[in-house]
Amino acid sequence: MKKQPSTFPLVVFLLLTLLASPCQLLASQYQVTRVPDGDMIKVDDGTKKITVRLVGIEAPETPKRKNETGQPFNQQSRKHLSSLVLNQVVDIKSYGFDGDGRMLGEVFLRDGMNVNIEMVKAGLAEVYRGKPASGLDMGAYWKAEEEAKAAQRGMWVLGDAYVSPRDWRRMPGN
């Protein structure tokens, strides 16, 4: 009788690969409890509350003080994100944490829709211009932004008057 090869080395290799991965390969489920702005949500998994920064995107800046208006389209962005996820159970694929302790995550609805990319498609967030999270494929994000710009959806209707959130934060008074 011929001896079958052991699967033990393969199992060990797969486990080590999963542990060494820069991101979670398995998404976790969370209840969305709050949407402070167009690229951040607050979630609860039943045991803890977590702030999630939607990785790969940047939404128009909200006002820092009560009497200010913030960046154009900030309210539309927040409201659109709220309409997609507020009070929903979502899956989050984590890419670690940012310097403020927020989870960097891709958020998925039960039907599989990538909420991060949906925000870009709607023209209510741009692709993050900094260094992308390790392991995050930015191709679909850039494609979604090109399509939103071409269709002049959301903030892209501003044309040359559009200011990136990154540049907006650097402007005096913001």
Which residues belong to the active site? Answer: 53, 61, 102
First-to-last alpha carbon distance for the chain, in angstroms, is 76
Q: Smallest Cα–Cα separation from 44: which of 77, 85, 75?
A: 85
For the chain, strand residue ranges (E) read 28-37, 40-44, 49-54, 57-58, 89-97, 103-108, 126-127
Residue 58 pairs with which residues in a beta bridge? 126
Give 110: exposed, middle or buried? Use CB within 10 Å, 0-12, 13-18, 19+: exposed
Torsion, Cα 69 59 44 96, to 10 degrees, reads: -140
